[in-house]
Structure 1
Amino acid sequence: MAADTFDAIVIGGGHNGLIAAAYLARAGRKVLVLERRPLVGGACVTEEVFPGYRVSTASYVVSLLRPEIIRDLGLKERGYEVIVRDPSSFSPYPGGRYLFFWRDADKTRAEISKFSERDAAQFADYERHLEELAELVEPLLRMPPIDPASRRWRDLWRLARLGLRMRKRSAELIRLSSLSVADYLDRWFESEELKVRLATDGVIGALAGPYTPGTAYVLFHHVMGQTEGQRGVWGYVRGGMGTISESIADYVRAKGGTIETEADVARIVVKGERAEGVLLRDGREFQAKAVLSNADPKRTFLQLFDPLDLPEELVDDVRRLRMASGSVKINIAASGLPNFHAYPGTKAGPQHQGTIHLCPSLDYMEDAFEDAKRGRPSKKPVVEMCIPSVVDPSLAPDGKHLISLFVQYAPYKLADGKQWDDAAERNFANSVFAVIREYVTNWDEIVDEYQILTPKGIEDRFGMTGGNIFHGEMTLDQLLFMRPFPTCARYGTPIKDFYLCGSGVHPGGGVLGTPGYLAAKAALRKSL
């Protein structure tokens, strides 16, 4: 029986894969999206983990999703709505002190002045400085990476324009790309409480500590986005993160695209050094003029291709990719709200609305990393808590709450040959809860049940190699024209008519959407 034929096949219905499909369908191409799981979205999903709860199982806040993608695909008209949090964060510290970040700059400066008058005065300059750098770099997020070794006149012209644009800030951009987040923040502030509050954005999602070189860029990456026109602001998506994916999928279908779930791709079919289709595990085969993969580069090349179809140099590059992760996601069904020592109250208040940072110092954070670096789950983990049901009651049954914990650090591979099993997961959850009890008086009374996803659990559930939420470490040697490596950095690959469209290519991880958008543009230009 002849295989069904499409213009393009997209492997993986994560947000980037769906965005690639949306732009291909928008251009009038016949598109098929194949998703292994029963629902689309990849790690950008809403699931009923507990009866009556709508859980953003993996990704849980949004800021980086490009405004032009939101506009082009009409996502707001299709149900996408961001709830801006005010305050954006609450950081309690030992001894009863706390720090709020508000949307009102004067209120935030007043909070910082409790710890340092100098830092309070300096904070506006710090935010303005990062915003100016973000505006300078932002065009790079909308275009394919420029290879400085290229001899094409268009690349040379773009490189020259970019050099002129950035010449006055080149030293600062080099610092951001190479310094540790601790060293970078030391250049600005003296208060430990403020520095550790900001430093979490430099280590989140990475197996790196605050003193690890390159983590300053991860912080910068997290302030590149905007919510409702305000840069660096993160919000909740009404109905959960799956609303993003479902709204994009709705666009794909409206443009005539086909999306199949529970469609597990076994192999990418290559003939004559060209990708011409895919074979599913159920035996079905589909053909296409172009094939795009939303899976991470290691999973794509090492699991979906016959090794004989790949150049040896490509396989070597893939094997060298660093995919380490130290992140754990814990989702909790709760019967009430946490009562904080530093800011008491079990009725919804400002302490419950934004991200709650439980980490007293940079040294504490570094100690937590040192454990994981040696293959041990952190004895004293770093905890970020969110309670989205406070501002979106639709996420939990009446009188209940949904609590999300994003935790650093737990290694993918445990030392001494140990494995992640139920007992190991339970032990780590207990370590996390022990930290929370230092700040919260009623934790044991409000936790009804929980789900824990270690790096191994993230890999098994979402197909992210090593549990790395960025599809590869966000370090200087794995960014721009080197992401994931030079031969695949511009979305095309040495396999003709085969493209990468996930977070493993420029500009990287997070619910950003640009990798899918730019990969679709590349496929349209070269294959379709």
Structure 2
Amino acid sequence: MPALEGHRTYDAVIVGGGHNGLVAAAYLARAGRSVLVLERLDHTGGAAVSTRPFAGVDARLSRYSYLVSLLPKKIVRDLGLTFRVRGRTISSYTPVERDGQPTGLLVGGGERRTREAFAKLTGGEREYQAWQRFYGMTGRVAQRVFPTLTEPLPTRDDLRRRVDDEEAWRTLFEEPIGVAVEDRFADDLVRGVVLTDALIGTFADAHDPSLKQNRCLLYHVIGGGTGAWDVPVGGMGALTDALAAKAREAGAVIATGHEAVRIDTDGRTAEITYRTADGESVVGARHVLVNASPQALAELIGDTLPAPAEGAQLKVNMLLKRLPKLRDTSVDPREAFSGTFHIAEGYEQLAVAHAQADAGELPAAPPSEIYCHSLTDPTILGPDLVEQGYQTLTLFGLHTPARLFDRDNDAVRDELLKSTLAQLDAHLAEPLADCLATDADGRPCIEAKTPLDLERDLRLPGGNIFHRDLSWPYAEDGTGAWGVATRHANVLLCGAGAVRGGGVSGVPGHNAAMAVLEGDD
């Protein structure tokens, strides 16, 4: 940790050393600007980190965020990052019981295999053809919209012309996504699989008039211009470690254990007060880039706090001695868990779970999805664990808003985890508990994080993984040319709460850096 001497002025001070702050730092330092990153924790990375959560076990898990889709190759190329992702041959598996028999829908492994899986589940070609048409449409939108994320914001009309498909525009940008799901698909399970991408980290009904579910779906289907979700080789920490290395290599100063507590600005220059174990100090800056939530920015600068948008997810990390056997014996567990394994995510199940949570109750059948990182990338496990056949599981639960945990976070977490795993067990031929590894103290290797845990650990307001409701990827009043503007000319928002923020993308960091460099020209 470097010592910051005196009252030095930097071209840019970045508040927060998460991945977006590191992207901004690397771009600005490479452009010859003097850059200081202030990070309150003793490490960089924010929510995009890898840790060993289980005592004495050599498993380095992506603790919070875990898959990559929205990171543009442009950023990887521009910064010369030594970071790779691997694709998944299986997109998803969704188990279900039909006519008293276990079955399911496996998507992936080639077009023929996917078509046959749809036919087996639904008894015909209709649902598969509807699936092909729907994702053909979103694929075309992805090709046209994704490149705009690292360009100045288009207007709404400009983006609509770029999409150049009125049916797609109406479906994704104007009507609640529930309309399209119900019009295009007949099978409840297929409907649910489509809808889940609109609900990750977003507490909404399929027909929510705010269309926040549509915005969530949009960002989930445009990544990389294809919508593919890839596995980060080495875990998510490999990305942020590479970013920190590139920022330092370019000359940026990264000060961990330095917590920004106040920003004073006249619109041209700023002073940032920060706190360390030794007390408070002040540093000057021409520009301040805040890689934190809009709520945190308001607190730092003394503005009125915006209303928080609560998070609504349960994140569970597990290490298993072996993958569990499935009741559906037609599917290899190594395939089922290598993609997204949907649990209790039928269309009606999702609607019921949302209604129950909205009424202040835990969902009786909590919906969630699981994937196994180590099947695609075993490098996150020590050689001994790999040899013994150990595997990781990451579970992401839906429709569990922060308000449900207010009465007793620990007790509700335990209750929710138990009922969530019971939903999984219903599709397994053996209890998941029998497959869990144990740590050096003999405890099961499983940890769960609620929205309140994320608020405490990462200062995400209400545990919202996007900092606030996701935005449309076009200009609206006050967004500025790059979607990072605040009411203070030299203070920019470069975190997930910026326009086109959310997810592990680096896009807000890139765009804030471009806004600074354009303003300096």
Same-fold status (TM-score > 0.5): yes
SS in 2 for 1:509: coil
**1:151 maps to what in 2?**
none
1:135 CA drift (Å): 2.2
1:383–1:343 Cα change, 3 Å = farther
The AA in structure 1 aligned to 2:88 is: R
The AA in structure 2 aligned to 1:120 is: Y
**2:275 maps to what in 1?**
281
SS in 1 for 2:62: coil
Following superposition of structure 1 onto structure 2, how do residues 442-461 of structure 1 map, counting pairs within 5 Å?
442-447=431-436, 448-461=444-457
Residue 143 of structure 1: which of 147, 151, 165 is its match?
151
1:409 CA drift (Å): 2.2
Following superposition of structure 1 onto structure 2, how do residues 206-355 of structure 1 map, counting pairs within 5 Å?
206-213=202-209, 214=211, 215-226=213-224, 231-270=226-265, 272-282=266-276, 283-301=280-298, 303-305=299-301, 307=302, 310=303, 315=304, 318-320=305-307, 322-343=308-329, 349-355=334-340
Cα distance between partner residues in 2 of 1:176 and 1:348: 34
**1:406 maps to what in 2?**
396
The AA in structure 2 aligned to 1:136 is: R
Residue 90 of structure 2: which of 87, 90, 95 is its match?
87
Which segments of 5 or more consecutive residues in structure 2 lack a partner in the other structure?
437-443
Instruction: Write the deviation string for residues 2-22 of structure 1: whole angstroms up to 9, x where unpaired.
Output: 312221111111111111111
User: Are residues 1:97 and 2:103 paired?
Assistant: yes
Following superposition of structure 1 onto structure 2, how do residues 146-161 of structure 1 map, counting pairs within 5 Å?
146=154
1:103–1:300 Cα change, 3 Å = farther
**1:432 maps to what in 2?**
420
Cα distance between partner residues in 2 of 1:121 and 1:408: 28
1:514–1:190 Cα change, 3 Å = same
Q: Is the 8 A contact 2:267 2:491 kept in 1?
A: no
User: Are residues 1:490 and 2:483 paired?
Assistant: yes
1:179 CA drift (Å): 2.9
Q: Is the 8 A contact 1:492 1:498 kept in 2?
A: yes
Q: Is the 8 A contact 1:46 1:57 kept in 2?
A: yes
The AA in structure 2 aligned to 1:19 is: V
1:21–1:409 Cα change, 3 Å = same
1:135–1:456 Cα change, 3 Å = same
Q: Is the 8 A contact 1:295 1:502 kept in 2?
A: yes
Which segments of 5 or more consecutive residues in structure 1 lack a partner in the other structure?
149-158
Q: Is the 8 A contact 1:292 1:498 kept in 2?
A: yes
**1:381 maps to what in 2?**
366
Cα distance between partner residues in 2 of 1:428 and 1:163: 42
Q: Is the 8 A contact 1:181 1:211 kept in 2?
A: yes
Cα distance between partner residues in 2 of 1:290 and 1:60: 31
The AA in structure 1 aligned to 2:30 is: R
The AA in structure 2 aligned to 1:24 is: L
Q: How many residues are treated as equivalent by the alignment?
A: 492
Aligned-pair Cα RMSD in Å: 2.4
Instruction: Write the deviation string for residues 429-455 of structure 1: whole angstroms up to 9, x where unpaired.
Output: 111111111112231212223111101
1:193–1:285 Cα change, 3 Å = same
1:241 CA drift (Å): 0.8
Q: Is the 8 A contact 1:15 1:245 kept in 2?
A: yes
Cα distance between partner residues in 1 of 2:271 and 2:421: 48
Q: Is the 8 A contact 2:337 2:370 kept in 1?
A: no
TM-score by length of 1: 0.87
Aligned-pair identity (%): 29
Q: Please, which moves more after superposition, 373-382 or 431-440?
A: 373-382
1:121 CA drift (Å): 2.5
Cα distance between partner residues in 2 of 1:344 and 1:458: 38
Instruction: Write the deviation string for residues 319-361 of structure 1: whole angstroms up to 9, x where unpaired.
Output: 24x512211101112222122211378x862122111111252
1:486 CA drift (Å): 4.4
Q: Please, which moves more after superposition, 323-332 or 95-104?
A: 95-104
